[in-house]
A = this chain, B = another copy of it.
Amino acid sequence: MKTEIQPAQGKLGILIPGLGAVATTLIAGVEAVNKGISKPIGSHTQMGSIRLGKRTENRNPKIKDFVPLANLNDIVFGGWDVYSDNVYEAAMKAEVLEPGLLFSVKEQLEKIQPMPAAFDKNYAKNLDGTHVKTGTRLELAQQLMEDIQNFKEQNGLDRVVVLWCGSTEIYYEASDVHSTLAKFEEGLKNDDHLIAPSMLYAYAALKLGVPYINGAPNLTVDTPALIELAHQTQTPIAGKDFKTGQTLMKTILAPGLAARSLGVRGWFSTNILGNRDGWVLDDPDNFKTKEVSKLGVLEDIFKPEDNPDLYGDIYHKIRINYYPPHGDSKESWDNIDIFGWLGYKMQIKINFLCRDSILAAPVALDLALFTDLAKRAGMSGVQEWLSFYLKSPQTAPGLPAENDIFKQLIKLENTLRYLMGEDLITHLGLDYYEDVFAKQLDTL
């Protein structure tokens, strides 16, 4: 039975706190795609297809033809940043896309001026931007709500999502002020510095029923207070941290090793990158937030407590090194110590010459389109089916996260099938071999 989903009529606003490398790559890309210059490679919503029915039915529509998503032509971008560069200038500085490509969408990009940010330097010491709002936390939140509403009106938008592409904040854990919505709102009033800037954006969005996506490993909406708010206003949330690069690789490879019951003794991951994100992460407090986000994935996939012989003693180490020569061309090198039959040792080395923002931009796009879909489908709170895109997926309280990218993919696909009233797929397929059970079927 098909779910009732409101159609994707009118325009969708994507409002982005943090108009840096990822955001500008996303925006320039969507403009280039809309102009027919480039293709939205890496965006599963735009390029991917989904199998429906039995293998032999040959029904493999593109996802965007299967579920009612906003059209790329109907997207309007806006955002906030602590630097006042417009999106064209910021994109040029980010040095992700070639000047030639950016030039061809210059007009569109120059129009997008960041609104002043809600910022607190304690949460990102390596940043020195001054394009910021002033006021108590409550006042900042109210200004952000006004920003959102003005943006919606001025652009004649039907719907909005807020997509955090801002820097990684320093590491902090949930405390009392984050435990209930009431306490949180009290904290806003008291300008409680335990409320991080990202939470102000999230609060503003959710309060208005606008979905919030957390592309960084920041705590933000992974707190009881804001989950409560999300349910109150029937609004979807998704997070944390876009899954790209090394972690993407890890959640591809680790399930493969686990599938074969190959043991793992150590996993060493190092990264070199030279963009602003790398510079912010050069501060140990900000790195810690990222490290926690990255470290979790293996444990969930390998389940050491269930498989002590195979995964009970993994030494997992992650390093991020700021290395300017590479700019946004993040490179990772992994050494994985595995063991097989009778404990014999083997090694896998993976060298990924990736481009950070090139991988992140389509993920950001898909999350924006899917949370908008979720809102229209009446889904609210944590959207676990989107964990496919996330390094450190938020789940229902008490439920362990699923990090295996293939299980995440099935979850995503079966959710779409479910929403559209199609059969879920189990890959059983014994029916192609009916004679297989010939003897037994006779006796049934």
- Report how many residues on chain A are interfacial, defined by Cβ distance under 8 Å: 118
Quick one: CB contact mask for A241-280 with B, threshold 8 Å, 1 for yes?
A: 0000000110011011001111101101010100000000
Q: Which residue of B lies closest to A28 (CB)?
A: B342
The segment from A115-123, A180-188, A411-419 that touches chain B is A411-419
Q: Which residue of B lies closest to A261 (CB)?
A: B47
Distance A63 CA – B227 CA, assembled complex (angstroms) = 38
A386 to B: closest C-beta gap in Å: 12
Known contacts: A49-B307, A346-B353. The answer to whether A427 contacts B439 by CB under 8 A is: no
Known contacts: A252-B252, A315-B324, A400-B55. The answer to whether A231 contacts B435 by CB under 8 A is: yes
**Residue pair A427, B411 in contact (C-beta under 8 Å):** yes
Q: Which residue of B lies closest to A63 (CB)?
A: B261
User: Contact partner of A429 among B324, B350, B409, B411, CB < 8 A?
Assistant: B411
**Residue pair A426, B424 in contact (C-beta under 8 Å):** yes
Q: Is A43 an interface residue (CB 8 A)?
A: yes
Residues of B within 8 A of A48 (CB): 259, 261
Residues of B within 8 A of A151 (CB): none
Q: Which residue of B lies closest to A245 (CB)?
A: B346
Residues of B within 8 A of A32 (CB): 342
Known contacts: A261-B48, A435-B231. The answer to whether A40 contacts B341 by CB under 8 A is: yes
Residues of B within 8 A of A55 (CB): 399-400
Distance A273 CA – B439 CA, assembled complex (angstroms) = 45
Quick one: CB contact mask for A392-419 with B, threshold 8 Å, 1 for yes?
A: 0001100110100111011100110010
User: Contact partner of A426 among B323, B325, B331, B414, CB < 8 A?
Assistant: B414
Residues of B within 8 A of A439 (CB): 234, 378, 380
Quick one: CB contact mask for A410-444 with B, threshold 8 Å, 1 for yes?
A: 11001100100000111111101101111110010
**Residue pair A325, B265 in contact (C-beta under 8 Å):** yes
**Residue pair A326, B337 in contact (C-beta under 8 Å):** yes
Residues of B within 8 A of A418 (CB): 428, 430
Q: Is A304 an interface residue (CB 8 A)?
A: no
Q: Is A189 an interface residue (CB 8 A)?
A: no
Distance A355 CA – B362 CA, assembled complex (angstroms) = 30
**Residue pair A266, B326 in contact (C-beta under 8 Å):** yes
Q: Is A93 an interface residue (CB 8 A)?
A: no
> Which of A56, A343, A385, A388 has the most B CB atoms < 10 Å from its CB?
A343
Q: Is A38 an interface residue (CB 8 A)?
A: yes
Q: Is A379 an interface residue (CB 8 A)?
A: yes
**Residue pair A25, B341 in contact (C-beta under 8 Å):** yes
**Residue pair B321, A341 in contact (C-beta under 8 Å):** no
Quick one: CB contact mask for A330-345 with B, threshold 8 Å, 1 for yes?
A: 0101010101111110
Q: Is A354 an interface residue (CB 8 A)?
A: yes
What residues make up the interface of A, taking CB atoms closer than 8 Å to B? Answer: 3-4, 25, 29, 32-33, 38-44, 46-49, 55-56, 60, 97, 101, 231, 234, 248-249, 252-253, 255-256, 259-263, 265-266, 268, 270, 272, 303, 306-307, 309-310, 315, 317, 319, 321, 323-326, 331, 333, 335, 337, 339-344, 346-355, 357-359, 361-362, 377-385, 388, 395-396, 399-400, 402, 405-407, 409-411, 414-415, 418, 424-430, 432-433, 435-440, 443
